[in-house]
Amino acid sequence: MTGVVLVTGGTRGLGLAVARRLAAPDVHLVLTYLLNHEAAHEAQAALGACAGKVTVVQADARDPSALNAAIIGPLLSGGVPVRVLVNSAALGAFRDLTALSVRHWDLTLDTCLKGPWLLTTRLAPLLAGGAVVNVSSTGAVRTVPHYGAIGVAKAALEHLTRCLAAELAAQGVRVNAVRSGVLATSALDSHPEGRALRRETARRVPAGRLVTVEDVADAVAFLAGPASLMIRGQTLVVDGGLELLA
């Protein structure tokens, strides 16, 4: 196998779609997850036929010690190049900012921002010639009800993308982001206004339908591949044209 493809949150939803899209016989897929052991083992079994090797690792993106012990340390010790790092893991509280506790704020910012920063910077020695793709969302630039903390985290993630792209360019590391539109996933189901948000988005989006996880996975694969060699620090919007509207 010629390298590792690491996808955080890669055993469910969007992360799993990305892992499926990036799987190849010469790839060692490393997928992280937080709590759902059953989904992790199902993903490992399903992707085993597509990738040379699939490893699922339980790791909390908020916890530097856990990331070091479960992912960063073993990969650095192994010395195998990391061809692609996709920071897809996300967790946050669907609450108005005025109703948010400090615990919810920390949980959201640490998961969506600290994890990508730690993994990208600590694994940089293995990422030379490789690509980092951070997964953002439309909440980074649009106000969405009950999405303030996550939106702030995603906006910061997009700027982190630009800063890392500039800092790591000399090491041969490409860093970009994908900003997805509203996705019909289980995460949306837990949003207090998820059904209404889904209906309204589907009604207004110029493309005529909601974005799928496969749409976003295709964009991630593009930014991870050789066709995007000279694209650095950019955020590719995959929302069916929704941001074009006032």
Residue 147 known to be catalytic:
yes
- Strands (DSSP E) found in the chain: 3-7, 27-33, 53-58, 82-87, 131-137, 174-180, 235-238
Q: Count CB atoms within 10 A of the CB of residue 234.
A: 17
Residue with tokens 């994908």: 178
What Å distances lie between residue 112 and 10, 220, 233, CA to CA? 14, 17, 18
DSSP 212: P
Catalytic residue at 33? no
Per the residue annotation, which of 33, 53, 114, 154 is the catalytic one? Answer: 154
> Do the beta carbons of residue 78 and residue 129 sit within 8 Å?
no
Active-site residue identified among 33, 53, 114, 147: 147
Return the active site residues: 147, 154
